[in-house]
Chains A and B, each alone.
Chain A
Amino acid sequence: MSEVIVVTSGKGGVGKTTSSASIAMGLARRGHKVVVIDFDVGLRNLDLIMGCERRVVYDFVNVINGEASLRQALIKDKRQENLSILAASQTRDKDALTQEGVERVLNELRADFDYIVCDSPAGIEKGAHLAMYFADRAVVVVNPEVSSVRDSDRVLGLLASKTRRVEQGEGKIQEHLLLTRYNPKRVADGDMMSLKDVEEILGIQVLGVIPESEEVLQSSNSGNPVILDLDSPAGQAYDDAVARLLGESRPLRFLEVGKKGLFQRLFGG
């Protein structure tokens, strides 16, 4: 039985695509067959983060419109054979995604994949709606920052009412909080909301906390999901999050400031 996971947030730029890429890669590394879909029609970016931008021939909208088969449009990851990518279309037609079309493609994918990760666009418009509508679970990506938290609360409201499961009376889908760009030092200084603060406001279960780290940008630069860099705190934190998504229980890490050298302690920073 395959599962559809939406990665969503409301606000843009909080790390949805970065998280989708790493979660999909992490699930695939654990032996599951995974496809990750970019729902951001007109602003395709998942291909860049996954490092397959030059291999996109057909996209999601081509498949919906019957201009290409799924087999033609799916891009197999070169590092991980269990993982495929379905790129977003660069069309400017806002109505390119239809509910029937998305449903048909997802049903076809369910036959071949264990996990279907839907990378939602920012906002609460059609693309975001369709990305969450067929989901069985949701990962809500949040930064510890006022606008991100408020938007996430709006998105949680939509997840509670505007999904097929809810509409068909099958109950609410499972919601997970993924707190990204977490800076333990700023939290300790009282300049950034803590995990506890955000948890208290949003009231959903924590999937993981990804520390703000240089490696995230470096990974995007090179087109390698940061979870592949298991020496980096962010890579390890994503690996933990994926393990928890699969039901493993792992303690949260990277919530405290690391030990500092004498120089740093004397002069701050």
Chain B
Amino acid sequence: MGLLDLFRKKQKNSANTAKNRLQIIIAQDKADASGPDYLPLLKRELLEVIRKYVSVNPDAVEVNLSHESDHDVLELNIVLPDRPATAADGV
């Protein structure tokens, strides 16, 4: 390390940040690309249907399509709020 380095403000290890971010986003890109084209639309419509009855966050609905030996599994995971508000509550 040079003498002047002592006075330089350094942001350490941005390379590691880059690598971690890439690993996450590439895994996500891959998952998106491998799913059928209708998946994003299916996700949106499912969310709309659910919200007709229960007020949930868009983030609370998780739709996953996974492949098993001879069939695909569509997995739907919805986190309901503690006290489910109904459409009648005027949401």
In this complex, the interface size class of chain A, counting residues with CB under 8 Å from chain B, is 20 to 34
Contact check, A194 vs B29: say whether CB atoms are below 8 A apart: no
What is the interface of chain A mostly: helix, strand, loop, or mixed? helix
> B77: CB under 8 A from chain A?
no
A257 within 8 Å of B by Cβ? no
B83 at the interface (CB under 8 A from A): no
Q: Using an 8 Å CB-CB cutoff, how does the interface string of A249-269 with B read, 1 for contact, 0 for none? A: 000000000000000111111
Interface size classification for chain B? 20 to 34
Binary A-proximity of B15-44 (CB < 8 A = 1, otherwise 0):
110110111011001100100000000000
Q: How long is the Cα–Cα vector from A153 to B29 in the complex, in angstroms?
A: 9
A96 contacts the other chain (Cβ, under 8 Å)? no
Residues of A within 8 A of B14 (CB): 190-191
| A217 contacts chain B at the CB level, 8 A cutoff | no
Interface residue A157 (Cβ < 8 Å from any Cβ of B) = yes
Check B73 for interface membership: any CB of A closer than 8 A: no
Choose one: A191, A264, A266, A269; the contact of B15 (CB below 8 Å).
A191
- Taking a contact as CB atoms closer than 8 A, the residue among B4, B12, B23, B25 that contacts A190 in the complex is B12
Q: How far is the CA of A265 from the CA of B23 in the complex (A)?
A: 35
Q: Chain A interface (Cβ within 8 Å of chain B)?
A: 145-146, 149-150, 153-154, 157, 187, 189-194, 197, 200-201, 264-269
